[in-house]
Amino acid sequence: MPVKKTGLPPFQLLVDEHWRDVARLARALAGPVDGDDVAQRAWEKAFAAYPKLTSARNLRSWLLTITARCATDLHRARKPQRPLDEAPPLTVDGPDATQWPDPELWKAVSALPERQRQAVTLKYVGDLDHHGVAAALDTTPAASRRLVSDALATLRATLGVDDD
Amino acid sequence: MTDLERRLSGLDGPPARPPVLPEADVSYTLHDTPIGRMLLATAAGKVVASSFGDEETMTHRLARAISPRVLRQSAPLDDVRRQLDEFLAGHRKSFDLAIDLTLATDFQRLVLADLPHLTSYGRTTTYGELAGEIERPKAARAVGTALGANPLCVVLPCHRVIGASGALTGYAGGLDAKRFLLNLESKS
C-alpha cells in the first residue's frame, strides 16, 4: 500500500496541547519521584520517532502509550535483582506526595500491582477508553477492563470507600 | 462516574515543567518588532521564514514543507533577531544570513532570491521594472503576487517595490509597516 501523505502537525502543537497530561500520567504511573523523569524520557522518544509516524490520528493516545512504556522500562530497570534469602534493600525516601492533593490516593495508586496501576491510570488519569488502554498495554480490551476493575476493587479496599 | 473514579481523574501534583528537547529540524520564535509581531524560523542553519503570518498557519506550512519536528526554540534564532533589530533601528543596511526559500514556489524564488541585488537600500523600484530585471517584462502582476507571498519579509526587501504610480499598493505586514520601512531607509 502506498504511504499516504500524513500531514503531521508541528511537534510544538503536541507539546502545547499534551505536556500537562503526559506529566500527570507519568507521575501517576511512576510515582512522584520518578514521574518527571519518565515524562521527559517519553517526550525524547516521541520527538525521535515523530517524523516516521505514518498517521496523524490519535496522537494523544500515541504519546500516552509511549509514556506508559517508559514507565514500564524504568520499573524494570529499578527492580532489585537479589537472592531470595538476602534482606531486601531499603529504599531511600525521596520527596513524597504527602503534601500533594489527595495524598491517600497517591499512596494507594503507588501500591497497586504494576499492570493494575498502568491500566487504572491510563483509563482515568489518561482518560483513554478500553481500546486505548489495551493498545498501550499490548493486551485486549477485555483484559484491560478486568485490570481496571481489579484495581478499583483494590483501591476501594485500601481507601475504605464503598461507592458502587 | 463514582466518587473514586472522579478522584482518580483529578489526580494531580504540583505544576510540572514542559519537556526539554534537542534542537528541532525547524526552530521558530515569535519576535515583537516596531512593525508588528514576526515569526522567525530556521532549519539546518538557514533562515526559512521571517513572516507576518500567524503561528498556526506558519508552523503547519513549515511542518509540511520541511519536517514535522517544529519547535518554539529561540536560541537558534538569536543572530537573526539581532540583525533584524539592528536593521529596524536603522543601524544595519543589509543582512548577513544564510537563507532558504523552501517555502516559495519556483517563480516566487526567481522573483525573490535576488531582491537584495536588484533593489537598493533607501530606493524604491516598481513591479514593472523588477519584471524587466528578471526578464519577464510582461509579468508585472505575477511579480506583485510573488512579492506578496515573500516568506522572508524584510530580509528579502520586497517592501522596496511599489506601484508605477508611486502607490505603496500592498504589504504582508500592512501598509503602515511598508511606510515605516521606506521612511527608515530614506532617513538612514
Which is nearest to B188 in space by CA: B111, B100, B86, B53?
B86
Chain A neighbors of B63, CB-CB under 8 A: 8-11
User: pLDDT by residue (tens digit) across B70-122?
Assistant: 999 999 999 999 999 999 999 999 999 999 999 999 999 999 999 999 999 99
| Cβ–Cβ under 8 Å, residues B33 and B84 | yes
CATH architecture for the domain at B26-187: Orthogonal Bundle (1.10)
Check residue A96 and give its pLDDT. Answer: 61
13-42 in chain A: CB under 8 A from chain B: 13, 15, 19-20, 22-24, 27-28, 32, 35-36, 39-40
Whether A109 and B11 lie within 8 Å, measured CB to CB: yes
Tell me, what's the pLDDT at A162? Answer: 78
Residue of chain A nearest B61, judged by CA positions: A10
Q: Is A162 on the interface with B (CB under 8 A)?
A: no
pLDDT of residue A3: 41
Query: Once rounded to an integer, what is the mean pLDDT over residues A42-67?
Result: 96
What's the pLDDT band for A148 if we cut at 50, 70, 90? Answer: very high
Q: Please answer yes or no on whether A97 and B13 come within 8 Å at the CB atom.
A: yes
pLDDT at A60 over 70: yes
Which cell is B146 given? Answer: 510573488
| CA nearest to B127, candidates B164, B153, B159, B156 | B164
HSE value, Cβ hemisphere, 13 Å, CA-based, for B6: 6
Residue of A65, A35, A125 lying closest to B4 (CA atoms) = A125
Which tops the pLDDT comparison, B169 or A41? A41
Q: Is the pLDDT of residue A141 over 90?
A: yes
Give pLDDT, residue A61. Answer: 95
Contacts of B175 (CB under 8 A, 6+ apart): B168
CB contact (8 A) between residue B11 and residue A8: no
* Chain segment B123-174, per-residue pLDDT in tens: 999 999 999 999 999 999 999 999 999 999 999 999 999 998 989 888 999 9
Residue extents of the structural domains in chain B: 26-187
Chain B positions in Cβ-Cβ contact with residue A128 (cut-off 8 Å): none
pLDDT at A150 over 80: yes
Q: Does A137 touch chain B (CB under 8 A)?
A: no
Question: Mean pLDDT over all residues of chain A?
Answer: 87
Are A161 and B3 inside 8 Å of each other by CB? Answer: yes
Please give the residue of chain A at the shortest CA–CA distance from B10: A125
Query: How close A146 gets to chain B, by Cα (Å)?
Result: 15
Give A74's pLDDT tier (boundaries 50, 70, 90): confident
- DSSP letters of B88-156? HTTS-SS----B--TTS-HHHHHHHTTHHHHS-TT--EEHHHHHHHTT-TT-HHHHHHHHHT-SBBTTB
pLDDT at A87: 64
What mean pLDDT is predicted for residues B25-42?
A: 98
Is B65:B105 a contact under the CB 8 Å cutoff?
no
Domain A11-80+97-159, CATH among 1.20.140.160, 3.50.50.60, 3.30.379.10, 2.130.10.10:
1.20.140.160
